[in-house]
Structures are given as structure tokens and as C-alpha cells.
Amino acid sequence: MQRHLNIADRLRSSAEIVPHQRAVVFPEGRDRERRVTYTQLTFTQLDREADCIARGLIRMGVRPGDRLAMFVPPSLESIALTFGVFRSGAVCTMIDPGMGRVNVFRCLDHCEPNGFIAIPVVQLIRRLKFRRFGNARLNVIVGPTKRRFGCPSYTGLVRAGADTSIDLPQTKSTDRAAIIFTSGSTGPPKGVSYEHGMFDGQVDLIRDRFGIQPGEVDLPGFPLFALFNVAMQVTTVIPDMDPTRPASVNPVRILEAINDNGVTQAFGSPALWNTVGRYCQEHGIRLPTLRRILSAGAPVPNHVLQRMTAALPDAADIFTPYGATECLPVAAIGGRQVLSETAEQTASGAGTCVGTVFAQMEVRIIAVTFETIAEISDARECAQGEIGEIIVKGPVATREYFCRPDATALAKIADRNGFWHRMGDTGYLDDQGRLWFCGRKAHIVFASDGPLFSVRCEAIFNQHPRIYRCALVGTGERGKQAPAIVAEPEAGHYPESETDLARLRVELLALGAANDLTKNIKRILFHRSLPVDTRHNVKINREALAAWAENR
């Protein structure tokens, strides 16, 4: 049902409830004593700035539905701009610059933005590529520069908006608010259409499931989570890190921000917490202010859960929400529960338990197929414990990919009461109603003796103390694929001689032979650093590895 709604209304409400609370805190630099200096905006200041931005955009010609590509690093300005774009009725187009030049241009070509809100170097590229981006006439430059590239600055936009009383448009819950591109870890990135009502639903589901309270302080390692904080009256402390390279984060700076600001919640990819957890373990560091950590983007290894729970107070936990750009959140489980109840099963090949399903969300498991499913009645539902394809229904499931009817048709299943989203993942439901993840559908190896699921098989070999992570790949035609494990040893433990390589290979083959799931995997390859996605630095690019294995 349609209703009048703009996700920026949640900022307005927060400003009314807690006007003087810090909304956003940014590490601006360091003083003479090398202490971090912070700048900030209260909820009232952020709300006013977003209002000025929205009116400034409308004054310069932005209309509801216009697509504005955002290329602004996490900052006070980036959050104000995002809410300003929402409030103007325009569509905030978010493309991860870390996905690489080719993919970024491919995404821009696909969405054809009406304008760029971007740092100087991006505006320069836009001007140089003026034939490619001829439709982009509504531009704002953000950041210090002597060149204006024929467009207003952030400061000029805010001032222009403050000088006008233009009415703001009224949007509906089903109006498009954003286009967010997938990471492209299993194919070309696709633009996911987000509606205002979907963002609104995400806020409520996340807040209620994890008991997040107004007045808390969050450190989001993934910029989008800052938008949820504003809607929950939670202070956002922007971390001093490159959000496109979470695996390379400096743990000292993360811990410094947590301690300086009394952070109660932190969000980041498993790669980020792997780095921070190792540092905490090596230096005996505990994090007394934290109530919860959230980690998403890929299965969180048990060693990461062990290190982080050891650093947390007894009442705190690290939670691992499961979902995707197209549908988030779906399910979640706490790290302490994983370590005490499901870790042993995961190690023996049961898959990764991602927990119980969120309220208002519904999950089914259907027989795996790579074909379009027009109606839910055309799908065969799997029995309890049977591995199949995960499909999801609920208020945060997105309806479509932007201008990609082919991809939308493959990913959605019609139902008389709505639709189901196909997650592209495999898994099953156990007798306690918990969801288990077994790997991406695209990563199934179809061997002659049956299908092999990546996450189940890899867990067997990951038990070796010298192996950091590994990937299952298949070579050859489907149904007759030859399975192989590509292993990445722990840092500093890569075998440097043929004798050491042979010895480690024998040890890994023995691990595989001892389990029925992996006893027929006879090929072990070694890789110094497995290719991973740019957004979370943890999703292994098995497609690239399969091609690499073919050549080997």
C-alpha cells in the first residue's frame, strides 16, 4: 500500500526528539600532541543542512526522479548530501569506486545520471568525458579546489538553498530513493532500485532485532549504515579508513575512535574484524564500551568470532546478519551462539549457520535451477534439511534491478500476495528453524558423483592451522567438472620449496579424504592471495580462480 513517506523524514524526527545530540562525528586531523581532532554536526544542524541542500538542488533544476551519482567519501558533507538528495525527491545513485574503473564506467553508462555530486577529480573526468555523460547537467563539486568545472560548490549549494523557501516535494513509500549497485562479485554489477519504504523497513528491522537504543554511538565501516543511525537517533562516528579497502584498515585508528567516543556499536566486514581482532589478541586489548559488533558481506570465520568475542565485555556479542544488496536483513546469529552450538558442525561441512529469520521476513528453500521461475507454484519446495536455493519475501526485498528486466525476471518469483527474491545462494533450514548457508549457487561444482557446495567443502580444508582460507573451483563441463581446492596459506607460511609444497598438499588431501563430502577432491593448488571483492574484501572471486586453475 502506498503512503506518503520520505526516508529523510526520519532525520526530521530525530532532530525534533534529540536536537542537540551529536549526529555525525568526523576525524578532521590531529593536534600538536597527535590527538585526533573531531568536527561534528548535531541532529538539528544536519537536518537544516539537508534542507538547504534539497532546496538548493531544486533551485538549480533537480526534479523528482532525477538520478544523481554520488562520489563523495564518508564525511559530514556526504551524509548531509545523501539526506538532501532524498528530500529533494531525486534518486541517490551509489556506485562503489573500489569496484574498479571499468565497472564504475559500466555502471554509469547503465544508469545514465542526470548529474554528479562529486569530488574534484570525478568532476574533471566528467568534463573530459562530456560526450559520454552529456545527460549530466545537474552537478555539484564537493571539496577544496580552485576549478569549478562549471558547477556550484557544496558551500554554494547550501547557501543557495538557505536563501529560498521552495516547497519540498512529497514522495511516496514506493517512490525510488536510491540505486545501489551490487559489488559484482559473481558477475557484472547491477543497479538495485531502493524505495523509500524499503529503507524505512530496514531501519525498524535492524533496530528491533538488535535492541539498538537512541543515544548510542556507532562506528560504521560501511558508509550506508550511517543512514540507518540517523534514523535511530544514534550518533555516527566516521572511521579513519578507506571504506573500499577494509582488509587494509589500521586497527590502531579504529580502536582510537572507539575509545575516544565511547562507541557502543560497530559495523564492518569480516576482513576488517579479522585485522582488528588479531591486533586485540596480540596486545591483550579489550573493548569495554562496545555492546555489539555487526559483521556482514560474507561468512565470518570462526577465528574472527573467537578473537572479537574475547575482546568484548561478557554481555556483548558480534552478530553476523545475512542478506544481500537486494534484500537486507534476512537472518542473524550471535558469535557466542555460533562458537558454542554450530562451529563444530561448520568445521565438519554442515555449512555456515546464519541464524533465525528476522520478524516480517519469510524464507523458503526450493530446488536449485538456473532458469526463470514465473510463479511460486512452479517451484518445488525442499524438505527440512535438504539443500536448495534460498528465496526470501518481506518488506525489505527490492522489486527490481534498474532498467534490467532480464535480471529482474531471473531474480523474482511472482506470488499472489507479492513476490519472492532469489538470493542466488544455497542453503537449508534445520529442525530449529535456523538458516544454513552452503555457498553461492553460481559456485556449485557439478562433479560426476554429484554437486559440491563451496562453503561446505572449504570448511574442511580451512581446519589446517597453516591455511588462512581456500576456495572450491571446478574445471570442465557441468556434470563432469573436476573439483579442485585453491588454498591461501596464512601470512608468512607459504611453502617456499617444492618439498614443503608437496608436504602441505599431502596434509590437505588427508583432511579431505577423511570426510565424505571432500573425499573425491584430489587436486590442491596454492595461491598467495585469493582474489576478493572490492566492497568487503572477503568474497572470493571463484570465477577468476576457476580460469586460473584451468591454466594451471
Which CATH number characterizes residue 501's domain? 3.30.300.30
Task: Give the three-class secondary structure for 89.
Answer: coil
pLDDT for res 533:
80
pLDDT surpassing 80 at residue 92 = yes
- Identify the sign of the CA torsion 365, 337, 452, 372: positive
Report yes or no on 226 lying in a domain: no
Q: Is a pLDDT exceeding 80 seen at residue 537?
A: no
Report the relative pairing of strands 482-489 and 467-475 from DSSP bridges.
antiparallel
Q: Which of 378, 370, 392, 376 is nearest to 325 (CA)?
A: 392
State mean pLDDT over 74-84: 97
Does the predicted TM-score (pTM) go above 0.85? yes
**Domain co-membership, 270 together with 326:** yes
Q: Is the pLDDT of residue 480 over 80?
A: yes
Is 422 a domain residue? yes
Beta bridge partners of 469: 488
**187 or 81, which is more confident?**
81
**Of the listed ranges 78-87, 151-160, 222-231, 375-384, the one predicted with least confidence:** 222-231
Is 56 part of a structural domain of the chain? Answer: yes
pLDDT surpassing 80 at residue 535 = no
Residue 261 and residue 146 share a domain = no
Does the pLDDT at position 62 exceed 90? yes
Angle at 187 between CA 186 and CA 189, to 5 degrees: 110
Note whether 270 and 354 are same-domain residues. yes
Q: How confident is the model at residue 100 (pLDDT cuts 50, 70, 90)?
A: confident
Per-residue pLDDT, averaged over 346-351, amounts to: 96
Among the candidates 439, 462, 478, a domain finishes at: 439
Verify that 158 and 253 share a domain, yes or no.
no
- Over the chain, what is the mean pLDDT? 95
Q: Is residue 68 part of a domain?
A: yes
Mean pLDDT value of segment 459-470: 96
- Do residue 112 and residue 60 come from a single domain? yes
d(CA 514, CA 521): 11
Count of other CB atoms within 10 angstroms of residue 332: 22
Between the alpha carbon of residue 522 and those of residues 167, 445, 482, 513, 541, the distances in Å are: 68, 14, 9, 9, 21
Facing residues of 353 across strands? 436
Task: Give the residue-averaged pLDDT of 106-128.
Answer: 95
- Above 80 in pLDDT, residue 2? no
DSSP secondary structure code for residue 130 in this structure: T
Helix, strand or coil for residue 470? strand
Give burial (CB, 10 Å; 0-12/13-18/19+) of 189: buried
Task: Give the H or E element holding residue 91.
Answer: strand 91-94
388 falls within a domain:
yes
Residue 358 shares a structural domain with residue 496: no
Report, as an integer, the average pLDDT of 125-133.
Answer: 91
CATH assignment of the domain containing 118: 3.40.50.12780
Domain count, the chain: 3
Per-residue model confidence (pLDDT) at position 550: 87
Q: Kindly tell me if the per-residue pLDDT of 185 is higher than 70.
A: no
**E-only strand ranges, 231-291:** 235-237, 265-268
Query: Residue 314 sits in which domain range?
Result: 245-439
What pLDDT is recorded for position 444? Answer: 97
In a domain, 82, yes or no: yes
- Could you tell me whether strands 322-324 and 418-429 are parallel, antiparallel, or unpaired per DSSP bridges? unpaired
Question: Is residue 189 included in any domain, yes or no?
Answer: yes
The answer as to whether 238 is a domain residue is no
Question: What CA–CA distances, in Å, run from 378 to 40, 278, 359, 371, 374?
Answer: 54, 48, 26, 11, 7
In a shared domain, residues 369 and 514: no
What is the band of 130 on the pLDDT scale with cuts at 50, 70, 90? confident
Q: Using one digit for the tens of pLDDT, what is the confidence trace for 384-402?
A: 999 999 999 999 999 999 9
pLDDT band at 197 (very low <50, low <70, confident <90, very high): very high
Verify that 48 and 83 share a domain, yes or no.
yes
410 and 315 inside one domain: yes
- Strand residues in 296-432 grouped as ranges (E): 317-319, 322-324, 327-332, 352-357, 362-366, 388-393, 412-415, 418-429
Domain-ending residue, one of 439, 456, 472: 439
Q: How far is CA 89 from CA 61, 68, 179, in A?
A: 12, 11, 13
Q: Do 67 and 131 reside in the same domain of the chain?
A: yes
Residue 36 has pLDDT above 90, yes or no: yes
The confidence score (pLDDT) of residue 57 equals 98
Among 156, 174, 196, the domain boundary falls at: 196
Contact 338, 302 (CB under 8 A): yes
Task: Check residue 512 and give its pLDDT.
Answer: 97
pLDDT for residue 186 is more than 80:
no
The dihedral sign for the CA sequence 354, 358, 364, 370: negative
| Same domain for 314 and 280 | yes
Residue bearing cell 530449529: 432
Residues 267, 371 within the same domain:
yes
- What is the predicted pLDDT for the residue at 97? 85
pLDDT in tens, 357-384: 999 999 999 999 999 999 999 999 999 9
User: What does the pLDDT read at residue 39?
Assistant: 98
Other Cβ atoms less than 10 A from the Cβ of 327: the count is 25
Give the DSSP letter of residue 138. -
Per-residue pLDDT, 532? 87
